[in-house]
Structures are given as structure tokens and as C-alpha cells.
A and B are shown apart, each in its own frame.
Chain A
Amino acid sequence: MAAVSQLQRQFIEYATSLYNEGYLDDQFTQLQKLQDESNPDFVVEVVSLFFEDSEKLLNNLATALQQKIVDYKQVDSHVHQFKGSSSSIGAQRVTTVCVHFRNYCDEQNLDGCLRCLQQLNHEYILVRNKLEALFRLEQQILQAGGSIPMME
């Protein structure tokens, strides 16, 4: 089963790099621990909800920051939501941008907010791509008849 062990090694390397580079934190591992045979797609389902939520929030943020008179409370509320959901799935870099973003909201700093929105878009797309790649690796392992290694 050379193919399976190679895929598993690839998976471990890739997942490890995501943790080392701060894209994912321990919360993601916690989610994986909640997955079992009765609900084998749990993590994918939660992450899909996160993707849906994020895209809505990013749109809302863009709209809110384009207003002639920006409602910073509203902006902050969207960022707070984003911070919550990203933290719930362990998307650490997204959460970090949200923290800075909220500070700019407090200062009513439009420039800072716009920069953070750009960063947020960027980090979101990065983590989405990486998670999709991770899930693809998982699928490959399963299709080759192997099991997904548990991350410590």
C-alpha cells in the first residue's frame, strides 16, 4: 500500500505546515476529534458553513465601508461575527486580522478598516484554498483505502 502511506505522509506534512505557518490552530484539531464514523463529514460541514458565512460577511463589510457615512458599529458587528466563526474553526490568521480590524473600528479609522478588509479577503482566500487542498488529500487517502492520520 505504498500509495496510501505516501499520501498519508503528504497529508501529515501539509497539515503540519498549516499549523506551523499559523493558518490553523488547535481548535481545528479539536474539531477533527469530534468527527467519527457516525458523522464522517463533520469537519467539512462546519468549514463549509464557515465559507458561506465568511463570504456573506466580506460582502457586508465591503458595502458597509462604502457608505458615505460609515456606521462603525455595524462594521464592528460584522468583524466580531467573523472573528467568532474563524476562531471556532481554528482559522488563526483570519482571527488575528479581525482583532486589528476591530481596533480600527473603535478608532473610526476608515483607512485602517479598508486595509484590514483587504487583508481579511486575502487571508480568507488563503485559508480557504489550503483547507480545500487538505480535504482533497483526505479524499485521496480514503479513496486509496487508507485512513486519515490524526494530528497531535
Chain B
Amino acid sequence: MNQPELHVLAVDDSTVDRKVIQKLLQISSFKVTVVDSGSRALQYLGLDEEKNSDCRFNDLKVNMIMTDYSMPGMTGFELLKKIKNSSTLKEIPVVIMSSENSMTRIDRCLEEGAEDYLLKPVKLSDLRRLKDTILKTGPDHTDQTQTRKRKHKIDQSQEPDYHDQTLSPPSSPQHAQTKRARL
């Protein structure tokens, strides 16, 4: 099986977390580039606010971006928005990593187009799951995928009254709200 390595750009302002995520990604057979801020990430992706060039070498091609949420300067959420608003970069899946298990934050990120929201500390099993998702769905995201992600996050939190609802595919593909009713 000659599968080319997927290239992940990881963004985190913490030296400890950068080292750990780099190792996790390497062990999961990803090619890894790590940067310490949102602005450096944008520079790397060729979305430099100063230069307006669209020239990126093919070997810099990034298959996924994983970013910490709380960072000084540009937050992971702001980075997510910039990427999703870029015609050249919006197809790249962006995963948010955060220590906060906040439903509002998770929803905001998913609604802004995040591929997934991982609770820190990130585990190997999280990356295994991500890898499967990226390899299976590619850039063709449906809301069913989003529903599964939100469901997974609810499983991880201790919220009571969790009703398992099977949602049918929504009529509009891109921005349908799939909010779970909470009684």
C-alpha cells in the first residue's frame, strides 16, 4: 500500500503541547509541521497579509490543520475563520484543540466550519479517528458528519438528559443547523 503521508500543520503557543502533538502526529504516520502562532500558520500557508502571492510549492501542501483554541494574538477560532474565508485554503479541514468542554464554544467552531473539536490532552485514539475521517470523506463534508462530531463531544461531557436522536439528512447541504434539542 503506497499511501502518501498526510501533512498536518499544527498550531499551538505552548512548547509542551507542541512537542506532544508533534509526537502524536508522527506516531500516527502523519508528516508534521509545527508553528507557534496563528500568524505564523497563515505565513506558512501562503496567506501572508503582507504579500499577496498565491505561490506555494507542492511539497508544502497541507492536508489538515490542527490548532489550539486559546492563543495570544490570533485565537484558533480567528485562524479557523481566516482559513474558511480564503478561497485557496477553505477546503483544508481544520481541527480545534481545547481544554474547555464548552458546548457553546464547540458549536461555534463547528458552525464556523471546523472539522472537529478535540478536548485536550489529545490522545492517539483522537488522531486515529481523524485520520479515518480525512481519508474517507475528503473535502466532501456533509452535515451528517458534523452531527456525529457534536454527538461525540456530548458523550465526552457529563451533561445530563442526553437524548440520542438519529437525525435525518438535512435538505440544505452546507449550513443546516443541526442543534440537538435539550429538554
Contact = CB atoms under 8 A, between A and B. Distances in A.
B75 to A, nearest CB: 12
A56 B177 CA distance: 44
Q: By DSSP majority rule, is chain B's interface helix, strand, loop, or mixed?
A: helix
Given A39-B23, A87-B121, A88-B20, A49 B99 contact: no
A76 B120 CA distance: 18
Interface in A27-43: 27, 30-31, 33-34, 39, 42
Contacts, number: 48
A80 B70 contact: yes
Interface of A: 27, 30-31, 33-34, 39, 42, 45-46, 49-50, 52-53, 77, 80-81, 83-85, 87-89
A34 B23 contact: yes
B24 A52 contact: no
B16 interface: yes
A94 to B, nearest CB: 12
7 contacts: A30-B121, A30-B124, A42-B23, A45-B19, A50-B16, A53-B16, A89-B16
A84 B68 CA distance: 11
A88 B17 contact: yes
A88 B121 contact: yes
A31 B27 CA distance: 12
A80 to B, nearest CB: 7
